[in-house]
Amino acid sequence: MASEIIDLTAAELATKLAAKELSAEDATKAHLDRISEVDSDVRAFLAINEHALSTAREIDARRASGEKLGELAGVPLAVKDVLVTTDMPTTSGSKILEGWMSPYDATVVARCRQADLVPLGKTNMDEFAMGSSTEHSAYGPTRNPWNLDRIPGGSGGGSAAAVAAFEAPFALGSDTGGSIRQPAHVTGTVGFKPTYGAVSRYGAIALASSLDQVGPCSRTVLDSALLHDVIAGHDHHDSTSLTDQWPSMAAAAREGARAENLKGLRVGVVKQIQGDGFQQGVRDGFAKTLELLVAAGAEIVEIDAPHFEYAVAAYYLILPAEASSNLAKFDSVRFGLRVTPAGGGTVEDVMSATREAGFGPEVKRRIILGTYALSAGYYDAYYGSAQKVRTLIQRDFDAAFTQADILISPTAPTTAFAFGEKTKDPLEMYLNDVTTIPANLAGIPAMSIPVDVAAEDGLPVGLQLMAPARADDRLYRVSATIERMLEEAAGMPFYARAPKTPAKGGAK
Ligand code: GLN
């Protein structure tokens, strides 16, 4: 019974819960049992919600009493530890916040609770969301359920691995430079970065405020769309939150899944973020998907985006600049850790000892980089130039979207890499973000869906889709069509190919 429950998508769970064929308690228990079974290997979770079962029972009681509940009531959910929660500690993957309890819930978490979703726990991540592998987490890395020797992506590797390992049907993540999409790519799951401002950032511990965006991840397109509908919409606590009335993303996904073909859709292939230098299996997966799109009637357009070449450089100036300012609040006074040097000292001594002990090497590296880029003598040369490049990249997108309705690329240059492969040289890790960063710099929606398994290593390959700002529903529509066509061709959904027992060296 339990193994059947964890196989269900969030949409399927919701249908069974509404029909009273399944209780929220049983749905929650099945996922908690699965966590007990596999998480000592996968290590997706930093904290488990002690109140999950009692929350589920209350939902069951309200349903039994005839109360009209939301569409997803009783469906379990995993929450990235960058989002503050009142009933579980929030660390953002850092020692400086170890054991810290927030006095309030992030807006997205509050909205999930209001929709009667059941938070199962908090998921692991690179410290303060800086990284692409979870190796920068102060609590040790998460492992990829497809092969425990490989990284699960980052920074949201915990959320993606939890979903890929059937520990949760869907999860919340955050994406500043790819942290929802790249983990989705390497774990064979779906991840969506909404339009900047579409989803509230209130209570999402800020990395780089002009780039951060909260979004969903799941095993299917529809499940991400369902979660997207719960969390999107204006929030007066976030001054960058858009006031748009959003169309239903779930309706768009359902419509896309029914579409017979992709006739009339102009699909742009961005020259600069594919091809040479990308792993063979990633290129093959992309080429096969292109053939599928052509067969479905889409028109393929080649897109030249000349400034994408400078996206990684611009991002790794803008991000540290904003991060150095955002992280100044971890000063030993207001939150978490406080380290007093032996023999005491001034406020500055305590602050310095605390930050020395509480921050890991990647966080320190970026704070130093950011404060340098912002210093009076270098501001124009570094930060100022990076902002100009950002504008040029936005213009590349504007031009591209006059020729194409959506843009596509591989989501990342390689499949899941091995632990330690990119930690020696930080630049190696940064370059991995070449494909995902442009969308953050432009604030546009982008997502990753699983399309193939690489022949050389048996690991998942994702397709990135990007659309103009505010056209999030377009991405759900098109990706649901592609997902359905791939499912028909393979005779099963992509997630059915994931190993049921996570193993070292893969489960082949
Ligand atoms: N890998 C990117 C970085 O290290 C992405 C981070 C993110 O999206 N949070 O900055």
Where does residue 73 fall: left (phi above 0), alpha (psi -120 to 50 degrees), or beta otherwise?
A: beta
Instruction: Please say if 155 is a catalytic residue.
Output: yes
132, 174, 179, 224: the active-site residue: 179
Pairing of strands 299-303, 214-218: unpaired
Alpha-helical (H) ranges within 301-414 are 311-326, 347-358, 361-374, 385-403
First to last CA, the chain: 25
- Please state, as a whole number, how many other Cβ atoms lie within 10 Å of the Cβ of residue 140: 11
Return phi, psi of residue 119, to 5°: -65, 125
Ligand 1: distance of its center to the CA of 417 in Å? 16
Contacts (Cβ under 8 Å, ≥6 apart) of 19? none
Pocket flag, ligand 1, residue 127 (CB < 6 Å): no
**Ligand 1 atom at minimum distance from 176 CA:** 8
Tens of each residue's pLDDT in the chain, 508 residues: 456 999 999 999 999 999 999 999 999 999 999 999 999 999 999 999 999 999 999 999 999 999 999 999 999 999 999 999 999 999 999 999 999 999 999 999 999 999 999 999 999 999 999 999 999 999 999 999 999 999 999 999 999 999 999 999 999 999 999 999 999 999 999 999 999 999 999 999 999 999 999 999 999 999 999 999 999 999 999 999 999 999 999 999 999 999 999 999 999 999 999 988 999 999 999 999 999 999 999 999 999 999 999 999 999 999 999 999 999 999 999 889 999 999 889 999 999 999 999 999 999 999 999 999 999 898 899 999 999 999 999 999 999 999 999 999 999 999 999 999 999 999 999 999 999 999 999 999 999 999 999 999 999 999 999 999 999 999 999 999 999 999 999 999 999 999 989 988 875 4
- Class of the 2-276+279-303+399-497 domain? alpha beta
Pocket flag, ligand 1, residue 179 (CB < 6 Å): yes
**Contact present, 431 and 437 (Cβ < 8 Å):** no
- 155 preceded by a cis bond (ω within 30 of 0): yes
Instruction: Please say if 80 is a catalytic residue.
Output: yes
Which tokens sit at 410?
A: 């591989």
**Ligand 1 atom at minimum distance from 130 CA:** 4
Pocket flag, ligand 1, residue 178 (CB < 6 Å): yes
Which tokens sit at 335?
A: 């939150």
Structural domain spans, the chain:
2-276+279-303+399-497
Which tokens sit at 62?
A: 């309200």
| Strand, coil or helix: 192 | strand
Pocket flag, ligand 1, residue 180 (CB < 6 Å): no
- Rounded Cα gap, residues 134 and 153, in angstroms: 7
